[in-house]
A and B are shown apart, each in its own frame.
Chain A
Amino acid sequence: MPVLLEARDLVKHYPKVKAVDGVSFDVAQGICFGLLGPNGAGKSTTIEMLEGLSKPTGGQVMFRGAPLGADYRDHIGIQFQTTALQDFLTVRENLTFFGALYPARRSMDEIIERCNLGDFLDRDTRKLSGGQRQRALLGIALINDPELLFLDEPTTGLDPQARRNFWELIGDIKRAGKTLLLTTHYMEEAYALCDEIGIMDHGHLIARGTPKALLAQHFDEKVLELPSSLLAGREWSFPVHHSEAGAEIRTRSVNSVLSELLGAGVDLTQLHQRPPSLDDLFLELTGKDERS
C-alpha cells in the first residue's frame, strides 16, 4: 500500500524542553496507526505537527510524498480529545457550519447515518452525553470526507458500552478505506483497532510494528496470574510482579513454575494463564503503566 503520511526526523524544541527528538515513521494508506506513549512522551506534540497545527523545529511532514501544502486541511479530519463547539448550536447546525468551511463535503444524511446522530440531531451540543458528544465530534471530523482521520484519545471518559460502540464506528470507517492515526491510553483499544503501532518515550519512537509482531519480538514468555496473597511472604526461584490486580509470573517454563507452586502447597484453582498483552509490552518498553 502507498505511503500516505510520513514523519521525517521530526524535532520540536520548546524553550526548556526537547519535546520531540528525531521521530520518523510512515503511515500507509488505509491502515489504522496507533501512536502510544506515557504522558509527556511527546506524542501530542508529534500529532500536532502531523496535523499541521504546529510547525516542527526540524524535520518535515510529507503527505502523499509532498510537504504539507495550503490545502492539507481539506484532506484531513481531526477529532481532538478536548474541544468545544459553538455554544447554543445544535448538532445539525454544527455539522452545517463545519461543512461550509470545506470546499467539498459528504452529505449530511450519510454522516448522520454513519455516526448514529439521528436521535440527538436537533439537540444543543452543550446537552449531549459523553458518548453522543464524541459521535457528534466524529461526524464533524468526517464532514469533509477526509482521506486521513486523526483521533486523539477519542474514547477517554466514555463508559465501556459507549467505548465499544465507538470502536464499531471506527471499524466502519476503517472498512471504508480511510487512513486513521489514533492516540489512546487504552491498550485494549489499540490492540483492537490498530494495524500498526508506534510507542514513544522521552521524545523518541522506541518501537514500531504490528501489535502481534511487537509482542512476538519482545516476549517469548507466558504470563501466569494468581492472587497476590497466595504468593506473598515466600521466596521463589522465579520473579513475581505484584500489582493491584494480583501477582504475575512471566516465564518460558510454565511446567517448572507450576511444579514449584504445587510443591509449596499453593492453591492453583485461581490460576490464569494469558499471552502477553500490549500493556505488558508498554510496561516492558517504557517502564510505566499507561493507565497511571
Chain B
Amino acid sequence: MGFSFQRFRAATIARSIEFLRDRSALAWNLMFPVLMVVGFAAIFSGPGQPVFKVAVVASAEPTTEMHPFFGTPHVQFYREPELEAAKRKVARHRVDLLLDFSGDKPRYWTNPESPKGELVEKLLLGSGGVAPEKQQATGKPIRYVDWAVPGILGVNLMFSCLWGVGYVIVRYRKSGHLKRLNATPLRALEFVSAQIVSRLALVMTTTTMMFVGCNLFMHFPMEGSYIDLFILTLIGSLSLTSMGLLVAARVGSEEISGGLLNVISSPMMILSGAFFSLDGSPRWVQGLAEIFPLTHMLAAARSIMLDGTRLIDLGYPLLILVGTTVVCMSFGSLLFKWTQD
C-alpha cells in the first residue's frame, strides 16, 4: 500500500481546520510576535541597557595600561580578530562600539542609530588618555529593531513549529485519536507528513503576515531577495517542525513532551542570537549555539535582509537546516508510535 495523496490531503485539511478554529491558539500565534516587536522596540529605543559591549581589535588583551577606558565598569570588552567583521557587527548592533588598537593611532566606530553606541562613546571620550580617532561607519546603519525583528519572528516560528507538532501529536496519542486513525488505512508517513505540511502552511502564512504588517510600520531594510528569505524560512521551519516530530514520536504524556520541548526551545531562544548577540560570550556557549537550527536560520535571514546575501551563497546554514530535517524526520518516522503502550 503506497503513499495516498487523498489520505494525506484529508489529514492535512482536518488538522488545518482544527488549528484555525482554535481561536486561542491562533490568537497567540498572531499576537506573540506583535507583542515582542512592540516590547523590544520600546525597550531599545529608550535609554538602553546598563551594560555595553565593546569589541577591541588589538594584539594583546585590553588593559588599563593600553587605555584607561578599559577600566570602565559595566562595559564588556572582548577581542575581535578581524577589523572588517567587527565593523559589520557595529552596523548590525551586535556590539555598541569598536576600538582598533592594531595601528599606530587608536580609532573607534559606532552606529549612529544606536543609543547605546552614543552613550558608550561619551564614556570613551570622558575616560581620559589618548582620544581615539572617530571613524565613519561604512554602509547603511541599521536600527536595533531591524536586527531584532528576524529574531522575534524566528522565535515565534520556532515555538509554533515545535509545539504545534510536538505537543499536538502527543495530545492525539493520549486522547486515543491516533489509535482511531491507526484503525483506518492512514499510514504513519501520511499522517506525519500531513501534520508537518499543515503546520508549515500555517506558520508561513502567519509569519508572512507578521512580517508584512510590521514592515508597514517599521520599514525594515531588505537588501536581498524576498523569495530567498521565504525559501530559507520554509526550510528553517521544516527543520524545527521535524524536531517537534522527533520529540512526539513515542512520548505518551503531555507533561513529558512539554518538558522536552522546553528543554529544546528555552536554550534555543536564548542562545540562537534571536535577541542578543553572543559575541564576547564564552567559546563553549557559542559552540552550543551552533547546534541549534534556529541559530543558522536567523544568521542566514539577517544576512539576506541586511547584507543582501543570495540564498545560493548560504550553503553552510542551509546544509545544517536540511541535515537537521533529514535526521529528525527519519528518526521521527521510524520511531513513531500510534498508541501509548
Residues of A within 8 A of B (CB): 51, 53, 70-71, 73-74, 76, 78, 80, 82-89, 93, 96-98, 100-103, 144
Contact = CB atoms under 8 A, between A and B. Distances in A.
Contact of B184 (A87, A88, A101): A101
Given A100-B7, A101-B186, A80 B18 contact: no
A83 B185 contact: no
Interface of B: 1, 6-7, 9-11, 13-15, 17-18, 21-22, 172, 175-177, 179-186, 338-339
B185 A86 contact: no
B172 to A, nearest CB: 7
11 contacts: A51-B183, A73-B184, A74-B185, A84-B175, A84-B177, A86-B14, A86-B18, A87-B18, A97-B13, A98-B184, A101-B184
Contact of A70 (B1, B14, B15): B1
Nearest to B23: A88
A101 B13 CA distance: 12
A248 B22 CA distance: 56
Contacts of B17: 86, 88-89, 93
Given A53-B179, A70-B1, A82-B176, A101 B22 contact: no
A86 B22 contact: no
Q: Taking each of B177, B180, B185, which has the highest tally of chain A beta carbons within 10 Å of its own beta carbon?
A: B180
Nearest to B178: A84
Contacts of B177: 83-86
B10 A97 contact: yes
Given A84-B180, A85-B177, A73 B185 contact: yes
Contacts of B338: 53
Nearest to B18: A88
B22 A87 contact: yes
Contacts of A88: 17-18, 21-22
A144 B7 CA distance: 14
A78 to B, nearest CB: 4
A102 to B, nearest CB: 6
Contacts of B22: 87-88
A79 to B, nearest CB: 9
A96 B339 CA distance: 24
> When A and B form their complex, which 4 residue pairs have the shortest distance between CB atoms, in order from nearest?
A100-B10, A84-B175, A88-B21, A83-B176
A85 B180 contact: yes
Contacts of A86: 14-15, 17-18, 177
Nearest to A96: B10
A106 to B, nearest CB: 15
Nearest to A52: B183
Nearest to A51: B183
Given A86-B17, A89-B14, A144-B184, 6 more contacts: A51-B183, A53-B338, A74-B185, A78-B183, A88-B21, A101-B181
Contacts of B18: 86-89
A124 B186 CA distance: 23
A144 B182 CA distance: 15
A71 B14 contact: no
B171 to A, nearest CB: 9
A93 B183 contact: no
A101 B22 CA distance: 24
